[in-house]
Structure formats: structure tokens, C-alpha cells
Amino acid sequence: MNEMRRFEGKTALVTGGATGVGYAVAERFACEGAGQVVIVGRRPDVGGSAARTLRAQGLNVDFIPCDISDESAVSELFRTIRSQYGRLDILVNNAAAFEPLPFLGAERARWRKTFDIIVDGAWLCTQEAAKLMVDTGTKGAIINVSSINGNRALEDSSAYNAAKGALDQLTRNTALELMDYGIRVNSVALGFIETPMSIVDGVPEHETDWFKDIYVGRRKIPQRRQGQRGEAAAAIAFLASEDASYICGAVLPVDGGLSITF
Ligand SMILES: NC(=O)c1ccc[n+]([C@@H]2O[C@H](COP(=O)([O-])OP(=O)(O)OC[C@H]3O[C@@H](n4cnc5c(N)ncnc54)[C@H](O)[C@@H]3O)[C@@H](O)[C@H]2O)c1
């Protein structure tokens, strides 16, 4: 895949790492020498099979089931990380879910569910990971996977967009508070990336007429295409690596230029 070995001997945890961007990140860390990569997700069948596929390539990848919006499950997850691996160098808060939610008539429970995963889940995992890093004197890196939606409006997306905006603020505030311990917190704001989340009503976004018209034809994405999950993973790996040693609290757009147009 590539010749770099930036994560030699490191232990990394990727939430939502069984599919899409998270899977590409787990693969990237492992291919770059990580001693241990832990994929976390809700579905044992999907997560178990992802870890088996990566282990079959000779990579050190485990799967631990956990719903990151469940506080006691996250505590249990980090008890396991402490006892099984003893340290954590990198956390990627990648897990999220999107469901269209028209504002008028939206039930509070559905708004809450989005926040529970995207904001509370990242908050819980960040606090547990940071405590472990501080306890072990590890100068770690935490990367939040956000979206360009975090500072934009989109129809039927108030919960997801507000949650990603809150995640960006969590990035900045935790970056400030954790820097005293040598822990860097940064974020990527992804645009259109080809993953399971980008399949709408069974049709991949990039195959739809609206995508071809607005984003390619009218060049709303200057690079005129969807991003590949490996391109998102490369940016996340950069922020997790020592190559980004002077980057702290950044929200880096990875969107083919979409956020510079209007
Ligand atoms: N694909 C895109 O175009 C795009 C654009 C902007 C941002 N993003 C962000 O990228 C990240 C990865 O998304 P993706 O596109 O790879 O989609 P994906 O659906 O493949 O990945 C999300 C993963 O999170 C897991 N997950 C959801 N809720 C969870 C929970 N409570 N506990 C544990 N795991 C949970 C899902 O099972 C899934 O494996 C997300 O944060 C998403 O918001 C994606």
C-alpha cells in the first residue's frame, strides 16, 4: 500500500472501524506498522469479519463490540483496552449515523439519538482515552471525523449538522485542555466520500443525476468527483502521525475543494 511506517509499535482504536472510512483508517494504521489496531462497532458479525479480513493480510487488528453512545459500554471498553493492551496512542472518533430528519415534526428522541452517537460518543471515548494516555504518560493523538456539514445548512439535516458543529467545538476545546499533557486533538471535515453512508436509497451518490449536475457539471466540487475512503484515511493518518506535530485543534477539510465554492 505504502512504504511509510509511522505507527510502528503504536496502539490505535477506531470507532465505527468495521466499514467505510473507519475500515480504511484501521487498515492504514496497521499497514504502517501499528502494533495493535482495535476496531470498535456495534455489530459483532460485521466487526468480526472486518478484523478477520485484515488479520488474513498479516495485520494486527482486533474487534471489540461496543455501542459508543452507551456510557457503561464505553467504560467497559476502556477497561478491556487497559487490561488487554495497557496503553493507547491513537483514538479516532469516527462512528456516526445519518438519517434524514425534517425539522418540523421531528421527534426529540431522534435528534437526541444523533447527538448521543456523534457528540456524546466522541466525548465519552475522548475522556476515557485521554485518562489512559495521561495515566501512562503517553503523548497521544485524537482525531475526530467531522463533516463540512458542521458549519453549513442542509435540508432535513439539522440534527446531523448541529452534532458535527458541536464535534468541531469539542475538537478545539479538548485540544486546548489536553495539550498540557502532550495530547494533540484534531479533526477532518469530510466532503463526499464513497462509503456505505454515501449510498442514498440504494443508489451511490456519485451515480445520481443531482451529483453529476451540481457537483461535477457545475463544478461545485472543484476536483469534480467524490473522494475515496483511502484519501480520507490518508488525511486522518497524517493528523495522527508525528508529521502533524505542530497541528493542534485544527478542522481540516478533506472535500475536493467543495467548501471553497458557493
Ligand atoms: N461518507 C461521506 O460522504 C461522509 C461525509 C462527511 C462525513 N462523514 C463521516 O465519516 C465518518 C465515517 O462514515 P462512513 O462514511 O465511513 O460511513 P459508515 O456508515 O460506513 O461508517 C460509520 C460507522 O459507525 C458505526 N456506528 C454508528 N453508530 C455507532 C455506535 N453507536 N457505536 C459504534 N459504532 C457505531 C456504523 O456501524 C459504521 O460502521 C462518520 O463520522 C461520518 O459522519 C462521511
- 261 strand-pairing partners: none
Ligand 1 pocket, mutate which of 197, 225, 255 (most atoms under 8 A from CB): 197
Residues in the chain: 262
Per-residue pLDDT of the chain (262 residues; tens, 9 = 90+): 567 999 999 999 999 999 999 999 999 999 999 999 999 999 999 999 999 999 999 999 999 999 999 999 999 999 999 999 999 999 999 999 999 999 999 999 999 999 999 999 999 999 999 999 999 999 999 999 999 999 999 999 999 999 999 999 999 999 999 999 999 999 999 999 999 989 988 999 999 999 999 999 999 999 999 999 999 999 999 999 999 999 999 999 999 999 999 8
Please report which residue ranges of the chain form alpha helices under DSSP H: 20-31, 44-55, 71-85, 108-115, 121-135, 158-178, 209-210, 229-240
Q: Is 160 a catalytic residue?
A: yes
Q: 175 near 248, Cβ under 8 Å? A: yes
CA of 27 to the centre of ligand 1 (A): 16
Of ligand 1's listed atoms, the one at least distance from the Cα of 164 is 43
Half-sphere exposure of 240 (CA within 13 A, CB side): 32
In the chain, where the domains are located: 11-260
- What DSSP letter does each residue of 215-235 carry, written as one string? IIIT-SSTT-SPEEHHHHHHH
Does the structural domain 11-260 have CATH classification 3.40.50.720? yes
